[in-house]
Chains A and B, each alone.
Chain A
Amino acid sequence: MANTDAQPVDTSAPLAQAWRNMPDVRGHFGPYGGRFVAETLMAPLEELAQAYESARNDPAFMAALDADLADYVGRPTPVYYAQRLSRKAGGAQIWFKREDLNHTGAHKINNTIGQGLLAARMGKKRIIAETGAGQHGVASATVAARLGLECVVYMGSEDMRRQATNVYRMRLLGAEVRPVESGSKTLKDALNEALRDWVANVDDTFYIIGTVAGPHPYPAMVRDFQAVIGRESRRQMLERCDRLPDAIVACVGGGSNAIGLFHPFLDDEEVAIYGVEAGGDGVSTGRHAAPLSAGRSGVLHGNRTYIMQDENGQISATHSVSAGLDYPGVGPEHAWLKDIGRAHYVDVGDADALAAFHECTRIEGIMPALESAHAVAYAQKLAATMREDQIVLVNMSGRGDKDMASVAEAAGESL
């Protein structure tokens, strides 16, 4: 049976849609978002926006997406009550939304399945992607393999070093991984390089952006494909607990797993929403990746949002133990949710994330991705301040197998 949760247009929830009704027709979330690109990309972006609009209103496309999410990705993913972790934290129940159980090991495939089907529908022969931790690159290479499309993945050379296993996985899947040596050699530079490729090859190439950033329609489109996380969670928590969670928590780099969980809950005012940025060595040290906590409004990668930048408007270098959070910008919808106060954005540093990684692994037998470990760490802190009958739902956005080398390095060990 096809998974009916895969509808990008959600009509199941109450009608007060003020917060779920963004962006406007030109891709603005309040003052954020939009389309800040060189003129060459304006026409392709408009073409993409129209193709996506047509696809999401086409029952055949949505049925194909539903079927793939069910049979290929393995949805719906379960929600899991992490009892031992909850007891350890002392306070509210901590539940996980198990996106780590998706095919390829993270939430990223929800989006690449959607954009891959759209690429095929548009007749594109080649897909390109940027990747940080490598999860989006793997998910893109996977979809390309299945659809028979050529695939090129741009990845910062520093990230290739940190995520060597994922680089090999992409190559096994038939993708070409192109190292990016410019700038800080991480995710932001990979995104620049993918945009350059797209400008030069717009006729036959579809650019699968992996997060809810970039020019319109990417932030809205990626959110729609990821919102299956929140729609399932909402229904599952009602089924299992007969109520919505009191708080939902997700890590935020660009912010795709977070917005996927948050969006269907935006109009449930009784649900508190927490996005967890990467505090790195500590926000006060400047070595972090927390633009919502310590950045300011600016324009990068085609959209206006919170950005880490210096006093001259140059983009700052970022740091996080987790490559997937190591990004100086953040999706424009998060910027807007912060400003209107609907979501709270906090930060967790490298040390606390690593501690949560080890604790979750040892007492739950679930090895979180280092990205997701940031959310687990905050959920432990938050749960400790809440009553035992309350519920915190954490997005376990990916599994930690890819992070073995980083974890060992942080512990002073080698594999």
Chain B
Amino acid sequence: MTRLATRFDTLREQGRTALIPYITAGDPAPDATVGFMHALVEAGADAIEVGVPFSDPMADGPVIQGACERALAAGTSLSRVLDMVAEFRERDAQTPIVLMGYLNPIDRLGLDTFSERAAAVGVDGVLIVDMTAEEAPEVAPTLQGAGLDAVCLIAPTTGDARIERICANAGGFIYYVSFKGVTGSSSLDVSSLAEKIERIRAKSALPVAVGFGVSTPDNAADVSRVADAVVVGSALVRQIAEHGTDRSATEAALRDTLSVMRRAIDEQDNSTGEARRA
């Protein structure tokens, strides 16, 4: 059983919603990232999404674009991101890690080489933003062959037939993009989420994570009512941008931001649980 499956099983038994923070690897410098990851785990992360910086992140808003630019300027590459995961694993063998990024850096390293190395250093899932099942049917099987989960996106614009096709290849969890837009926008419509998530659940037993618009503890609590996992990205990356090179201040800010989200989700989970029991 993969780390992602184990983690989601445990959470399901406990009636809890997963909290998945995202940070861009190498922002503001490659040697900062592992410390940030441990801080996120201490603040209640159930899994971590590690962004692989790309020069042209067309699905991301200005906050994560800025993170990519800082990370690349500091010399971050896909190989170095894999090194960071290896270093993280020296102290944490439990927390699942999902790499999220764009196709070209993986394409350049080579899909086979990438998959083997990612699995070897302890990556659990891979989400390639600009990759679709139609374009490269070999990607999901290659990742799976190396023991990695192929995490896939579903969007508000995705029709039922495509949902079925995407779910057939997916592993780990389904990442539902909460609205039409780029990362870091703030137009979350929780009421429309429930219906779409039900349609995904009708096609797949995988947990459903929701991301792209979760910026406040209230957003996180709202989303936790309907989703299995909440992804928080730009709200954390903004902290990294604001604190610059002061590592301990950044780690404290990441801990604070995430733990407030954690509490909001836990309170929501508890009241949902009580309502069920009543």
Residues of A within 8 A of B (CB): 26, 34-44, 182-183, 188-189, 192, 195-196, 199-203, 298-302, 307, 309, 311-315
> Do A313 and B108 touch across chains, with their CB atoms under 8 A apart?
yes
Distance, CA A315 to CA B158, complexed state (A)? 29
B106 within 8 A of partner (CB): yes
> Do A35 and B134 touch across chains, with their CB atoms under 8 A apart?
yes
Beta-carbon nearest neighbor of B105 in chain A: A313
Q: What's the minimum C-beta distance from A213 to chain B, rounded to whole angstroms?
A: 13
B-side contacts of A42, CB under 8 Å: 132, 155, 157-158, 162
5 contacts between A and B (CB under 8 A): A37-B58, A37-B132, A196-B181, A199-B59, A299-B104
> Do B56 and A183 touch across chains, with their CB atoms under 8 A apart?
yes
> Do A38 and B129 touch across chains, with their CB atoms under 8 A apart?
yes
Distance, CA A39 to CA B152, complexed state (A)? 9
Contact status of A315 and B56, CB under 8 A, knowing A40-B157, A42-B132: yes
B78 within 8 A of partner (CB): yes
Distance, CA A314 to CA B106, complexed state (A)? 10
A-side contacts of B55, CB under 8 Å: 183, 314-315
Q: What's the minimum C-beta distance from B183 to chain A, rounded to whole angstroms?
A: 10
Distance, CA A42 to CA B152, complexed state (A)? 13
Which of A37, A39, A44, A302 has the most chain B CB within a 10 Å cutoff? A39
B145 within 8 A of partner (CB): no
Distance, CA A149 to CA B192, complexed state (A)? 30
Q: What's the minimum C-beta distance from A81 to chain B, rounded to whole angstroms?
A: 43
A-side contacts of B104, CB under 8 Å: 298-300, 307, 309, 313-315
Question: Main secondary structure on chain B at its contact with chain A?
Answer: loop
B87-106 residues at the A interface, CB under 8 angstroms: 102-106
Distance, CA A35 to CA B136, complexed state (A)? 10
A-side contacts of B103, CB under 8 Å: 36, 299
Distance, CA A201 to CA B157, complexed state (A)? 12
Instruction: Give 3 closest A-B pairs by Cβ, nearest first.
Output: A313-B108, A313-B105, A43-B157
B-side contacts of A309, CB under 8 Å: 104, 108
Contact status of A196 and B157, CB under 8 A, knowing A313-B78, A313-B105: no
Q: What's the minimum C-beta distance from B29 to chain A, rounded to whole angstroms?
A: 16
**Residues 56-71 of chain B: 1 if any A CB is under 8 Å from the residue's CB, otherwise 0?**
1111011001000100
Beta-carbon nearest neighbor of B60 in chain A: A196
Q: What's the minimum C-beta distance from A314 to chain B, rounded to whole angstroms?
A: 4
Q: What's the minimum C-beta distance from B199 to chain A, rounded to whole angstroms?
A: 14
Beyond the given A192-B57, A199-B180, could you list 19 further A-B residue pairs with CB under 8 A, ordered by the A residue number? A34-B135, A35-B132, A36-B130, A37-B58, A38-B58, A38-B129, A38-B155, A39-B132, A39-B155, A39-B157, A43-B158, A183-B69, A200-B181, A201-B180, A299-B103, A300-B104, A312-B77, A312-B78, A313-B104
B-side contacts of A312, CB under 8 Å: 77-79, 105, 108
Beta-carbon nearest neighbor of B158 in chain A: A39
B-side contacts of A37, CB under 8 Å: 58, 130, 132
A-side contacts of B135, CB under 8 Å: 34-36
**Residues 106-148 of chain B: 1 if any A CB is under 8 Å from the residue's CB, otherwise 0?**
1111000000000000000000011110110000000000000
